[in-house]
A and B are shown apart, each in its own frame.
Chain A
Amino acid sequence: MLEALLDAFPTLALLAWEPPGWGANLARGLVNSVQIALGAFALGLVIGTAGAYGKLYGGPVTRDLLAVYTTVVRAVPELVLILILYFAVTDLVNQALVSFGYARVQISGVAAGIAVLGVVQGAYSTEVLRGAILAVPSGQIEAARAMGMPPVTLARRITFPLMLANAVPGLANLWLIATKDTALLAIVGFAELTLQTRQAAASTKAFLTFFLAAGLLYLLVTLISTFLFARAEKWARRGQRGGQA
């Protein structure tokens, strides 16, 4: 079966794990991609939580500044933002280091990628989480306040568990966007899956084989994540009346 397949499509042998196959390279690229997506998603959640609270409960200046942040990030292509932030962040860090008397550093691709995509994700998750918090019945929050619950406990015990069910579908979408946006880092020369694929394809001239294989890997990530997020939503909706759980 496998041999017949290899006879029909000899380029499939290039996907083998060991050199001369490029399987290990693709796998390394996939790990890099997932790593960056995870980091960016987590950073985006942190920014998004702060942003959502700022937009809902912050003062007028905070609110307007956050509105500018989310509007600008959502209106400018990710590719342009990645370039601006990539150059600007590297530049600023180095200027700060030099002015404090340290040597310049080369920022690692992973850190820069996570920072840049995290800022982009933060804008989107601000909106998702804001909507989810708004959907929490206000009576619940008022009751907790009336009981004298401190704000952090209120967030941890009341707001977060109740908003989670509303936030999961939007966050699932954001996670899928994060995994796909890692491909953009190929353009700043970071060796994630898409760039590894392109290098493998360019040096073997088996373009279709490699791009289809990479597409399959991305699709696999998407399908697995979709499944896991569906489970997560079911879990978050446990105890809700009329839920599917």
Chain B
Amino acid sequence: MSRGFWQPHRIVLIGLAVLLALWCGWALRWDWLPRYLPLMAEGIWRTIWLLAVTVTLGFLLAIPLGLAQAAGPWYLAAPARSFCTVVRGTPLLLQLWLLYYGLGSLFPQYPWIRESELWPYLRQAWPYAVLALTISFAGYEGEVMRGAFKGVPSGQLEAARAMGMPRFTILRRIWLPQAIQRALPTLGGETVLQLKATPLVATITVIDIYSVASRVRQDTFIVYEPLLLLALVYMAITGIIVLVFRALEARVPSRVA
């Protein structure tokens, strides 16, 4: 970026993009927009909620998964590794349908489940969406955390051990913070991938922003406009995620040699 951003050809390109956007606003049909705006806001909120919840839960699950693979005994490492392999080796859509249709068809056969307190939740779709997305994120992130835990210099851990620090304190104060710091750039990328996985929940009747767009298409037979707007919304959310992680990375003090 030595020559600066505002080069002549870029100004022309940006001008063309603005013209294209203006043409889209003028020539395409947007009259459906006001009617669906409240529904869209709800959908965006649901998407972001799903993303935030599953990334948090998945990351919490990924820490033991990574730790088990990096330093655990074989009877912990082997299940963790096969969990990551299975999750990363099968499509998320299949996992989602397996949980929703498979478990969903299994549960009603047991009266004690139907009589339990959890039943009102198990009858809805979103717990399955949260579960599937969490498992998927944990599978991918567990692999990242394994590398991050292994990447922490052993001198750091040895020094802590030499100071007589208890094992759990080492994990909490030395090992985990440095591993997270190493994983942060990948974590940002994985979060964007997770955002791109959220529209799959529309296939099990969770109303996120994607399914709102599908509904507009079915109601009004307008094909392109909702999809273009949808792409724009996802790009905006991606931009926000990238900015948030950039801020996070800047906040964490960088390594001192």
Contact = CB atoms under 8 A, between A and B. Distances in A.
A222 B85 CA distance: 9
Contacts of A176: 88-89
Interface of A: 60-61, 64-65, 72, 74-81, 83-84, 87-88, 176, 180-184, 186-187, 194, 197-198, 201-202, 205, 207-208, 211-212, 214-215, 218-219, 222-223
A60 B227 contact: no
Contacts, number: 116
B195 A197 contact: no
A51 B176 CA distance: 39
Interface string B218-257: 0000011001101100110011000000000000000000
Given A77-B199, A84-B224, A184 B93 contact: yes
B101 interface: yes
A217 B236 CA distance: 36
Contact of B200 (A65, A79, A223): A79
Given A80-B210, A187-B203, A222 B89 contact: yes
Interface of B: 7, 9-10, 13, 85-86, 88-95, 97-98, 101-106, 192, 195-200, 203, 210, 223-224, 227-228, 230-231, 234-235, 238-239
A207 B101 contact: yes
Contact of A76 (B9, B86, B90, B234): B234
29 contacts: A64-B10, A72-B231, A75-B234, A75-B235, A77-B196, A77-B197, A77-B199, A77-B210, A78-B196, A80-B227, A81-B231, A84-B231, A87-B223, A88-B224, A183-B91, A184-B91, A198-B97, A198-B101, A205-B105, A207-B102, A208-B102, A211-B97, A211-B98, A211-B102, A214-B94, A215-B90, A215-B94, A215-B98, A222-B88
Contacts of B13: 61, 64-65
A36 B87 CA distance: 22
B4 to A, nearest CB: 12
A215 B196 contact: no
Nearest to B235: A75
Given A80-B227, A219-B89, 20 more contacts: A64-B13, A65-B13, A75-B192, A75-B238, A75-B239, A76-B231, A77-B197, A78-B196, A84-B228, A87-B227, A194-B97, A202-B101, A207-B104, A207-B105, A212-B98, A215-B90, A218-B89, A218-B94, A219-B90, A223-B85
Q: Which 5 A-B pairs have the closest CB atoms?
A: A183-B91, A222-B89, A211-B98, A77-B196, A75-B238
